[in-house]
Structure 1
């Protein structure tokens, strides 16, 4: 993403998590390691800012791996035309200059990767699935400056996405400032989601929308 978006009279955007990890600017403690087939949640800080968690790494076959990062138009990334989760496919065995790092473009019809990020609020960009690797990645809601991400399996992804979208509907229905009951409802749904009980979460949120 950092090599594609440059505006005239503006500095280039920040570098990727791949480069920052290689330079030692991101420590191992700031990268969540998730194996294919596992389900995990992370709240990623914007890559251009300091934070406890800055990337998710998912190992693949042949030393390849995915990196997931949160790109927001702040700091060195302020010139980015888009925001959300960026997914990188890294192949360390590729010759330099021949696709060591490839962006998994969320919207392949957009020119110059201008809508490359995955976002829960975009119907055609709210999930990434690699069935061969048994990996699904779902962008979630913001928690302060952090952006949530769910790593799961393709098998579980449909229920997970339905639950995440229902939570988004709840937060849209009850924007801040919320009443005590609305806050408790959303907190309970989010907690249920983070326990990976997606069907119960969906039912709870759906009931809250009907009440």
Structure 2
């Protein structure tokens, strides 16, 4: 059984006694709060709980049980590092593989449906190059903030106008970085996109 255990740069506001109050430096070098958000808290708890139950009731089952806690799933690098560290030779090849995810259903229920349930996710970084200058003379520049903003607005029509009805797609601009000072027009901007799809090629025409 495998669970991803990422700590995300999110401040927990639940007010619960066990709420995360930890801060640290992200891989981007930024000081930020850390919490196991985005379902990782449930993933960790579920695998720890399953491991404990199986260990306490060894007389009720037989075989080999492996608990894998995968780091850096959000950045798509943790699995690669585990394989590079010899994961494929440390564990036996499974005969059958199942997957499940956290769903927005009442506790104690199992949710299932016909057809595809989950999507693939891709991360895309886009760098927009302009021509920097002083904020008092914008006519001498090519402002990448404006260019990046137009791209963000245009991306909103990818799903609504370029994806066939009945097909699934999500395009999210999760991060936009441009400039470092209020009166300086930067020479570049960076967009980081999250794209989720369930098919790799367009479906047949109706």
Which interval holds the TM-score relative to the shorter structure? under 0.3
Where relative contact order (Cα < 8 A, 6+ residues apart) is larger, the structure is 2
For normalisation by structure 2, the TM-score amounts to 0.27
Based on CA coordinates, which of the two structures has the bigger radius of gyration? 2
TM-score (norm 1): 0.27
Q: Decide which structure has greater helix share.
A: 1
